[in-house]
């Protein structure tokens, strides 16, 4: 069977890791928003798989109103509406990101301080450069802030950390967006429906890849 | 499933079967179809794939968009209940703190065990695989040959339903005519791998998978499988007629509510229950096998997890089919004056020679697959093709630097978007965002492929399990402590895997994702997956021709106790690159026929 490329520590290790991470963050930077203790209960080992779930169904969410506004605006700048699909903000991908950073699992806990600190940096930068909240800026102003941090190898040295935040936030926004029905439609994924037969790739596909 | 509760078990059965997965399912099926009264004990809860399988849920309705977590290691919608590499309240321990010396033990706690979620890859061992020591002097030969098992492979494939093609390749056996179902058409990425694989020595052919591409022939097959047994034929015909063919949607790892793929819960257990000869108790955690005064197994002691009470049940014979290491654990915990080191362990080999498949993987981005016209690539919910090992001659001549082979599982393309979709694009897009990012995501969607090697591990003295002297599980049962070591046979093979994948990605005109193993001086010990991660757990009670050097004979019967059988992977004397499930099923069928014959002879 194919394996996913994610580390999978056992639960005991995970909890130990979480406690250590939270403690060391607190020591390193007492102002870090990420140092807040996460909830410790996940969805468990036996949960009804036939239900539809929403962020907040299993663990408490984190964002306050200000953080939610910043995250929504950033989602909208990374994936804006165009003629093929709506924006990530209008699909509430920021709520998914809130669910993600609030989850008790090791991978998500690792993202928590980076995302919360990153959102704070975005707000600080927005105030410093444009004297306003990120969500209230003109789209062009938001894009200016993002342009400085959108590619870590090109970012100025003092912006490296912000660029790593942006990279992660963009990946989360993309994953959150393209898994929605509207996002899947945007990519022209047309599966997940019963078919009478499976014929393989159509001729135009075979031609394009040099096999017909 | 129509189960019974612990208090309703009969006073006496013909056979107790511990476990309900591939091994337990086949064992109970064969025994009950032939009239034996069987009690099956499953450590997990009842599970009904027809009712519980999430068939069309997309990732947006799952927590965290369905991504893998420690509580659902194959993703939220995966058909694993109560387990994974961690089972609540049922720990295991490691002898070493070094991750390379540890074994990660996968267990499910549900009816049907891991057959509910497995990859459905159904590859037979070939003639070389049963006689590896004769071929290269390493490991152990099995005390049986391919010819001994071939009829059972045919029967098992006809029963569960397998698609594939006969290619006549060396040590990659053909099935008998009329056994296989037609393979599905390859996808675009699979066709590309087939075309470009040739230049790097990778031969891509249809894979064999336990998925119905057409309805089973319920008029012909039952008579072939159960000649002279009209009742069994009738029951099987009904069960087969109730299974639908694949409708080309939803991943098999979620299980299948239309019973189009093989799971013990949809293929083995329904007909076995229909005989009226099978009782199943769920949440029954077996602790030990009990012996009578003559030294024969006479039953088991288990913990009813619903009440915490200890219970005894009795039978004329006992079959352990709990998953290799769990069966080993039951033996080691069955201590008596006659067997102070654990039951059936006079050889001292119970727990020795545990194995997994060698695993290593590499991803690539293939420009030819960018911007393809939209088309549906879901297919049979898993692979349509793979590359078997073909380099037997150069390997035997010592030209490769490692003694045993591996096959390649590959995939990618326009699968249902998940958390990884649109992620990690920075290195291709120089960090685009906004409308440009949406264009980039459309371009790159479907252009990534992944290659995974699954190779043979040679059993070694450093990979074993024992009872932990202190730690017990919630039920007071001593737990296993694992020791593990990959040898150079495996690490060199893993290195060969990733370099071959990189060559194949290049041949396809693609780019390796991550660091290129050809440039970075990669070492096999870095790229090899941890022991247990491929979940092809085997060994621990190996079969052999000599009671002093093996735990069971070639019928999977323990040398020490003649009415005690092991029908899971524990008896495997080697761990060929072929995924173990079909061999487990074939050997369980063969062992069960032997058990029936012995019982009818009055041997126990």
Which residues does chain B have within 8 Å of residue A151's beta carbon, measured at their own beta carbons? 426, 430-431
Q: For residues B39 and B220, give the distance between their C-alpha atoms in angstroms, rounded to a whole number.
A: 30
Q: What is the 3-state secondary structure (H, E, C) of B118-145?
A: CCCECCCCCHHHHCHHHHHCCCCCCCCC
Q: What is the 3-state secondary structure (H, E, C) of B214-265?
A: CCCCCCCHHHHHCCCCHHHHHHHHHHHHCCCCCCCCCCHHHCCCCCCECCHH
Indicate the helix (H) or strand (E) that contains B309: strand B309-320
> How many C-beta atoms surround the C-beta of residue B340 within 10 A?
8
Q: How far is CA B51 from the centre of its chain?
A: 23
Check whether B520 has a pLDDT greater than 80: no
Which residues does chain B have within 8 Å of residue A177's beta carbon, measured at their own beta carbons? 422
Pairing verdict, β B278-281 and B38-41: parallel
Which residues does chain B have within 8 Å of residue A1's beta carbon, measured at their own beta carbons? 74, 118-119, 121, 253, 534-535
Query: Who among A44, A85, A191 is closest to B376 (CB)?
Result: A191
Chain B residue with the nearest C-alpha to that of A203: B373
Q: For residues B579 and B577, give the distance between their C-alpha atoms in angstroms, rounded to a whole number.
A: 6
Query: Distance, in angstroms, between A32 CA and closest chain B CA?
Result: 24
Q: Would you say residue B583 lies in a domain?
A: no
> How many C-beta atoms surround the C-beta of residue B320 within 10 A?
35
- Reported confidence tier of residue B521, pLDDT bands at 50, 70, 90: confident
Residue B274 confidence (pLDDT): 98
Cβ <8 Å between B533 and A3:
yes
Nearest-10 crossing angle of helices A65-78, A106-130: 90
Q: Would you say residue B74 lies in a domain?
A: no
Which residues does chain B have within 8 Å of residue A188's beta carbon, measured at their own beta carbons? 374, 442
Q: Please list, in sequence order, all residues whose beta carbon lies within 8 angstroms of the beta carbon of residue A27, skipping any fewer than 6 positions away.
A: none
Write down the mean pLDDT value for chain A: 86
What's the structural domain count of chain B?
1
Residue A27 confidence (pLDDT): 34
Q: Would you say residue B465 lies in a domain?
A: no
Residue range B125-142: average pLDDT? Answer: 98
Cβ atoms of residues B174 and B205 within 8 Å: no
Query: Distance, in angstroms, between B90 CA and closest chain A CA?
Result: 12
pTM for the whole structure: 0.94
Place of tokens 């915990």: B333
- Reported confidence tier of residue B547, pLDDT bands at 50, 70, 90: very high
Check whether A2 has a pLDDT greater than 70: no
Chain B, window 114-153: residues with a beta carbon less than 8 angstroms from a chain A beta carbon = 118-119, 121
What residues pair up with B280 in beta bridges, in sequence order?
B40
What residues pair up with B297 in beta bridges, in sequence order?
B291
Query: Distance, in angstroms, between B340 CA and closest chain A CA?
Result: 33
Q: What is the pLDDT of residues A12-70, one digit of tens each?
A: 344 443 343 333 333 333 333 344 444 468 999 999 999 999 999 999 999 999 999 99
Chain B, window 159-218: residues with a beta carbon less than 8 angstroms from a chain A beta carbon = 184-188, 191-192, 195
Q: What is the pLDDT of residues B313-367, one digit of tens each?
A: 999 999 999 999 999 999 999 999 999 999 999 999 999 999 999 999 999 999 9
Per-residue tokens: B573 = 């004397």
Q: Would you say residue B387 lies in a domain?
A: yes
Q: What is the pLDDT of residues A146-171, one digit of tens each?
A: 999 999 999 999 999 999 999 999 99
Q: What is the pLDDT of residues B53-74, one digit of tens each?
A: 999 999 999 999 999 999 999 9
Query: Best residue in B44, B50, B60 to probe A by mutation, most A CBs within 10 Å?
Result: B60
Which residues does chain B have within 8 Å of residue A52's beta carbon, measured at their own beta carbons? 57, 61
Cβ <8 Å between B433 and A78:
yes
Cβ <8 Å between A171 and B423:
yes
Go through A88-122 and write b for each residue having 16 or more CB atoms within 10 A of its CB, e for each that does not.
bbebbbbbbbbbbbbbbbbbbbbbbbbbbbbbbbb
Q: How many residues does chain B have?
A: 604
Place of tokens 């064999």: B208
Residue A40 confidence (pLDDT): 62
Go through B270-306 and write b for each residue having 16 or more CB atoms within 10 A of its CB, e for each that does not.
bbbbbbebbbbbbbbbbbbbbbeeeebbbbbbbbbbe
Q: Give the lowest-confidence range in A93-97, B206-210, B490-494, B511-515.
A: B511-515
The CA R_g of chain B, rounded to the nearest whole Å, is: 24
- Reported confidence tier of residue A7, pLDDT bands at 50, 70, 90: very low
Query: Who among A2, A103, A175 is closest to B423 (CB)?
Result: A175
Which residues does chain A have within 8 Å of residue B248's beta carbon, measured at their own beta carbons? 194-195, 197-198
> How many C-beta atoms surround the C-beta of residue A146 within 10 A?
21
Judge whether B378 is closer than 8 Å to chain A, CB to CB.
yes
Q: Would you say residue B195 lies in a domain?
A: yes
Cβ atoms of residues B246 and B425 within 8 Å: no
Query: Distance, in angstroms, between B443 CA and closest chain A CA?
Result: 9
Which residues does chain B have within 8 Å of residue A10's beta carbon, measured at their own beta carbons? 70, 85-86
Q: For residues B455 and B531, give the distance between their C-alpha atoms in angstroms, rounded to a whole number.
A: 12
Q: Would you say residue B162 lies in a domain?
A: no
**What is the residue range of B494's domain?**
184-206+358-455+487-527
Residue range A75-100: average pLDDT? Answer: 98
Query: Distance, in angstroms, between A25 CA and closest chain B CA?
Result: 23
Per-residue tokens: B320 = 């352990």
Chain B residue with the nearest C-alpha to that of A98: B64
Q: Would you say residue B134 lies in a domain?
A: no
Q: Please list, in sequence order, all residues whose beta carbon lies within 8 angstroms of the beta carbon of residue B322, skipping any fewer than 6 positions away.
A: B18, B19, B24, B43, B286, B329, B330, B568
Cβ <8 Å between B63 and A184:
no
Q: What is the pLDDT of residues A111-120, one digit of tens each?
A: 999 999 999 9
- Using DSSP's 3-state secondary structure scheme, residue B101 falls into helix
CATH code (residue B510): 3.30.410
Cβ <8 Å between A1 and B253:
yes
Which residues does chain B have within 8 Å of residue A182's beta carbon, measured at their own beta carbons? none
Q: What percent of chain A has pLDDT over 70?
A: 81
Residue B581 confidence (pLDDT): 98
Measured distance between the N- and C-terminal CA atoms of chain B, rounded to whole angstroms: 31
Cβ <8 Å between B249 and A181:
no
């Amino acid at each position: 069977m194919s394996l996913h490329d994610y580390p999978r520590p056992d639960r005991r290790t995970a909890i130990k890791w979480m406690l250590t991470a939270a403690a060391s963050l607190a020591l390193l930077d007492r102002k870090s928003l990420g140092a807040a203790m996460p909830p410790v209960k996940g969805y468990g080992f036996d949960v009804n798989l036939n239900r539809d779930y929403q962020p907040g169904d299993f663990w408490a969410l984190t964002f306050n109103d200000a953080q939610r506004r910043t995250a929504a605006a950033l989602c909208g700048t990374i994936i804006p509406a165009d003629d093929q699909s709506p924006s990530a903000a209008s699909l509430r991908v920021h709520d998914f990101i809130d669910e993600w950073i609030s989850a008790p699992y090791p991978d998500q806990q690792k993202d928590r301080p980076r995302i919360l600190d990153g959102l704070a940096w975005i707000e600080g930068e927005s105030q410093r450069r444009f004297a306003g909240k990120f969500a209230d800026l003109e789209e062009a102003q938001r894009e200016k802030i993002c342009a400085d941090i959108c590619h870590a190898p090109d970012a100025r040295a003092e912006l490296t950390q912000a660029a790593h935040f942006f990279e992660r936030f963009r990946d989360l926004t993309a994953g959150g967006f393209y898994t929605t029905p509207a996002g899947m439609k945007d990519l022209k994924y047309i599966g997940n429906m019963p078919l009478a037969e499976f014929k393989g790739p159509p001729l135009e596909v075979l031609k394009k890849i040099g096999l017909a | 499933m129509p189960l019974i509760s612990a208090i309703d078990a009969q006073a006496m059965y013909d056979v107790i079967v511990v476990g309900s997965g591939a091994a337990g399912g086949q064992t109970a099926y064969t025994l009950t179809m032939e009239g034996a009264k069987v009690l099956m004990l499953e450590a997990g809860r009842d599970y009904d794939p027809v009712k519980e399988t999430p068939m069309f849920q997309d990732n947006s309705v799952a927590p965290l968009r369905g991504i893998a977590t420690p509580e659902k290691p194959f993703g939220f919608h995966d058909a694993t209940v109560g387990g994974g590499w961690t089972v609540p309240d049922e720990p295991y321990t490691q002898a070493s703190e070094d991750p390379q010396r540890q074994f990660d033990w996968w267990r499910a706690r549900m009816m049907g065990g891991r057959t509910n979620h497995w990859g459905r890859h159904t590859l037979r061992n070939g003639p070389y695989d049963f006689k590896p020591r004769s071929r290269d002097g390493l490991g152990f030969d099995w005390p049986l040959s391919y010819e001994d098992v071939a009829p059972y492979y045919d029967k098992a494939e006809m029963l569960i339903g397998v698609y594939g093609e006969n290619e006549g390749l060396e040590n990659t056996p053909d099935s008998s005519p009329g056994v296989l179902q037609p393979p599905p058409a390859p996808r675009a990425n699979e066709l590309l791998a087939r075309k470009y694989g040739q230049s790097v020595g990778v031969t891509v052919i249809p894979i064999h998978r336990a998925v119905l591409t057409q309805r089973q022939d319920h008029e012909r097959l039952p008579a072939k499988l159960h000649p002279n047994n009209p009742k069994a034929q009738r029951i099987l015909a009904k069960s087969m007629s109730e299974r639908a063919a694949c409708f080309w949607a939803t991943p098999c790892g979620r299980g299948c509510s239309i019973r189009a793929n093989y799971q013990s819960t949809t293929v083995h257990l329904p007909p076995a229950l229909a005989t009226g000869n099978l009782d199943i108790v769920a949440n029954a955690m077996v602790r030990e096998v009990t012996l009578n005064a003559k030294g024969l197994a006479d039953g088991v002691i288990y913990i009813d997890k619903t009440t915490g009470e200890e219970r005894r049940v009795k039978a004329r014979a006992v079959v352990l089919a709990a998953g290799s290491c769990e069966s080993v654990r039951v033996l080691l915990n069955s201590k008596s004056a006659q067997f102070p080191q654990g039951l059936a362990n006079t050889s001292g080999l119970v727990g020795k020679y545990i194995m997994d498949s060698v695993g290593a993987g590499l991803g690539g981005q293939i420009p030819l697959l960018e911007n393809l016209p939209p088309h549906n690539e879901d297919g049979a919910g898993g692979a349509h093709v793979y590359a078997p090992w073909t380099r037997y001659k150069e390997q035997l001549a010592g030209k490769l630097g490692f003694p045993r082979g591996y096959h390649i599982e590959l995939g990618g393309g326009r699968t249902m978007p998940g958390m990884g979709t649109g992620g990690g694009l920075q290195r291709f897009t120089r960090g685009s965002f906004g409308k440009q990012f949406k264009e980039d995501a459309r371009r790159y969607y479907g252009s990534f492929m992944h290659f995974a090697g699954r190779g043979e591990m040679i059993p070694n003295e450093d990979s074993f399990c024992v009872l932990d002297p202190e730690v017990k599980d919630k039920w007071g049962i001593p737990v296993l402590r694992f020791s593990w070591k990959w040898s150079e046979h495996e690490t060199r093979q893993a290195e060969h895997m990733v370099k071959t994948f990189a060559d194949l990605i290049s041949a396809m005109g693609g780019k390796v994702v991550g660091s290129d193993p050809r440039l970075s001086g990669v070492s096999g010990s870095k790229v090899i997956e941890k022991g247990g991660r491929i979940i092809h757990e085997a060994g621990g009670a190996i079969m052999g021709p000599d009671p002093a050097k093996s735990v069971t004979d070639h019928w999977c019967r323990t040398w020490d106790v003649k009415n005690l059988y092991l029908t899971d992977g524990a008896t495997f004397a080697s761990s060929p690159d072929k995924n173990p499930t079909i061999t487990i099923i074939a050997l369980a069928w063969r062992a069960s026929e032997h058990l029936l014959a012995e019982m009818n002879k009055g041997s126990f």
